[in-house]
Structure 1
Amino acid sequence: MTNILVVGDGAIGLLLSHFLSNQHNVYVLTRKATNNTRFYSRKNSASQKINARFISLNQLAAQPKFDVILMTVKAFQVQSAFEQVKPYLTEHTNIVLSHNGMGNVEELKSELIPSQALYFLTTSMAGFKSNQYIVQHTGEGQSVIGGCNSLALKNISTMANTLKSIPKLHATSNIQQLRFEKLFVNIAINPLSALHNVKNGQLRDPQYNSMIINLLTEACNIAKAQGLNIPLINALTTAYNVMELTAQNYSSMQQDVINERPTEITAMCGYINEQGKVYNIKTPYNNQLLAKIQAKKSVV
């Protein structure tokens, strides 16, 4: 069995911990009480105990060596979280990032040695925490893993097999394309749902159409500048499909704003804004949402 450390016990971290613990030794790094049982709940089924061990930072040194570190913290937390676990990496530890938005990959690549593989896992599984110890699995979705450095690209099939207990997981040789496609969905849903305090499905109303089209047009222009071919119609179709599939869900950004937590806006609209400066592409609609979400007291 593989020793896996999951960094972060948000909804996605708990969902992945639940599935991975069916086949592996899973440890979850948390800032909350470590002696409280966590539960996985799905629709009307009985809740199940998540068979992982929850540990605090000062307990890390006493744990076995980790084969995989799966980082499920938010984009803006990745660097600080990585610095905390870096002393516990072995020369062959695999690092897997999983968060909304862009960024962090290049920064972490520069901190790893050639024998440490870096992967990115993107997922459209949906869930939320009904309280700090219970995760509700509210939506099916595919998960895709891809390599971000040469060793990971070489070993992607092995890593996908290791994590195969994650539902509907498959590997890709072009994770950057998949990350960008996921970014489009995030940009279309997260900021608007947070700004207007609505569920995902409500964004299909006509009043939001032009804004969504303009946001994704700018994102497509950035993708094209980076050498990616993602037609606007494809981006819109995917975004509206996700709105329909998660119609009764609130987005993660809406939940962050309501609960006065920092958001991932800088890894979404902020990323488009920064890349627009790099490629001299105007991005007024993404800039506008970036400013509006940042103006809220709950964001950084």
Structure 2
Amino acid sequence: MPASKVAIVGAGAIGLAIGSAFARAGSEIVICGGRTPVDSVTIVEDGTPQTWPARHIDDPSELGDVDVMVIAVKAYATDAMAEWLRAGAAAGATILVGQNGVEQVDRVRPHVGGADAIPAIVYLNVERTAPGVATMRRVGEHDIALPATGSGKTLGRLLDEGGMRMNVAEDFAEVLWTKMMINCAGNSLTALTRRRAPVLLDPAIADLARQITREVAAVARAEGADLSPEQADAVIAWLQAAAPANNTSSMREDVMAGRPIEHDALTGAIVRIAARHGIDVPINTAMLALLGALHPEEA
């Protein structure tokens, strides 16, 4: 689908990054809603900006035919986008859910019914700097991971054409839960300390991060993902290797800006799923309480 129409719901950092790849592959980009009209997508990488045209619409009734709908709002804002999701599903779009956590598809399913919904794992470090503008940094081996099921392979080829380093994974559960370890440790600790990634080089913080990921790995194993304690420790080593680049996290940026945070979709999900399996996760339980106390008006 080289000339497909792609709707972006949530033109923040991740939405802009994913939208830029579709645009680079020749897709028409439609930005859905938002406080500020956006008529272009600009990505700055290695100091060089590149811009693609986009069309902005304010009402789901304006959507028309669409091939792919990217949902890139924060997890807690999903229900607020119900009208857009219903419009995308009614148009026959594949719903690409670019959200953190392990419950992405379950989160949108009440609004899209039986539509093809594909979870996307995004590794890119992206900061939105102005409406329609974001700075993108690539970390690790891949930029985006998709499951090798449903429309995953087709979307993977298109995003690859758009310059993303893709991992279309047969064992998507392991990839999904590995990213969950990254988020539960990296996002939570940078948010609570209000420091960027180098905070993970502190020995005491690194030890706490390893305890977080080991608990997440135990929950992942209960859910059928083959993740060992050694893999949990390797996640922290990976985060530490990337720390000198002074990367931030989306949760830290939200705390610094006084916005709500996604702690329920990340650490909250770990605590909920652990309870279903009778697994004790004391560190993540404590982290959830601390993150829940970060009210936007007090951040």
Same fold, TM-score > 0.5, yes or no: yes
Letter matched to residue 266 of structure 1: D
Q: Secondary structure at the match of 1:49?
A: strand
Query: d(CA) in 2 for partners of 1:222 and 1:55?
Result: 41
176-185 or 84-93: bigger deviation: 84-93
Q: Which residue of 1 aligns with 2:146?
A: 145
**Are residues 1:219 and 2:216 paired?**
yes
Letter matched to residue 24 of structure 1: S
Aligned residues between the structures: 291
Q: Secondary structure at the match of 2:120?
A: strand
Letter matched to residue 144 of structure 1: A
8 Å Cα contact 2:29-2:54 kept in structure 1: yes
Report the Cα offset of residue 239 of structure 1: 3.2
Alignment of 1:132-281 (within 5 A): 132-141=131-140, 142=142, 143-146=144-147, 153-164=149-160, 165-247=162-244, 248-281=246-279
Q: Which residue of 1 aligns with 2:46?
A: 43
Does the C-alpha gap of structure 1 residues 92 and 210 become closer, same or farther in structure 2, counting only changes over 3 Å? same
Query: d(CA) in 1 for partners of 2:38 and 2:175?
Result: 37
Query: d(CA) in 2 for partners of 1:222 and 1:171?
Result: 24
Does the C-alpha gap of structure 1 residues 129 and 207 become closer, same or farther in structure 2, counting only changes over 3 Å? same
Q: Secondary structure at the match of 2:287?
A: helix
Alignment of 1:92-103 (within 5 A): 92-103=92-103
8 Å Cα contact 2:82-2:111 kept in structure 1: no
Q: Secondary structure at the match of 2:77?
A: helix
Q: Secondary structure at the match of 2:296?
A: coil
Report the Cα offset of residue 111 of structure 1: 5.1
**Are residues 1:34 and 2:37 paired?**
yes
Report the Cα offset of residue 112 of structure 1: 4.3
Q: Secondary structure at the match of 1:235?
A: helix
Q: Secondary structure at the match of 2:295?
A: coil
Query: d(CA) in 2 for partners of 1:185 and 1:271?
Result: 14
8 Å Cα contact 1:120-1:175 kept in structure 2: no
Alignment of 1:115-126 (within 5 A): 116-126=115-125
Letter matched to residue 89 of structure 1: A
**Aligned CA-pair RMSD:** 2.2
Query: d(CA) in 2 for partners of 1:108 and 1:11?
Result: 20
**Are residues 1:24 and 2:27 paired?**
yes
Query: d(CA) in 2 for partners of 1:205 and 1:196?
Result: 12
Which stretches in structure 1 are left out of the alignment for 5+ residues?
148-152
Which stretches in structure 2 are left out of the alignment for 5+ residues?
none
| Sequence identity percentage | 20
8 Å Cα contact 1:18-1:52 kept in structure 2: no
- Structure 1 ranges of 4+ moved more than 4 A: 35-38, 110-114
Report the Cα offset of residue 52 of structure 1: 2.1
Q: Which residue of 1 aligns with 2:61?
A: 61
8 Å Cα contact 2:209-2:236 kept in structure 1: no
Query: d(CA) in 2 for partners of 1:191 and 1:24?
Result: 35
Query: d(CA) in 2 for partners of 1:224 and 1:238?
Result: 16
Report the Cα offset of residue 37 of structure 1: 4.5
Report the Cα offset of residue 11 of structure 1: 0.7
Report the Cα offset of residue 88 of structure 1: 4.2
Query: d(CA) in 2 for partners of 1:296 and 1:158?
Result: 40
Letter matched to residue 77 of structure 1: A
Report the Cα offset of residue 261 of structure 1: 0.6
| TM-score relative to the length of structure 2 | 0.89
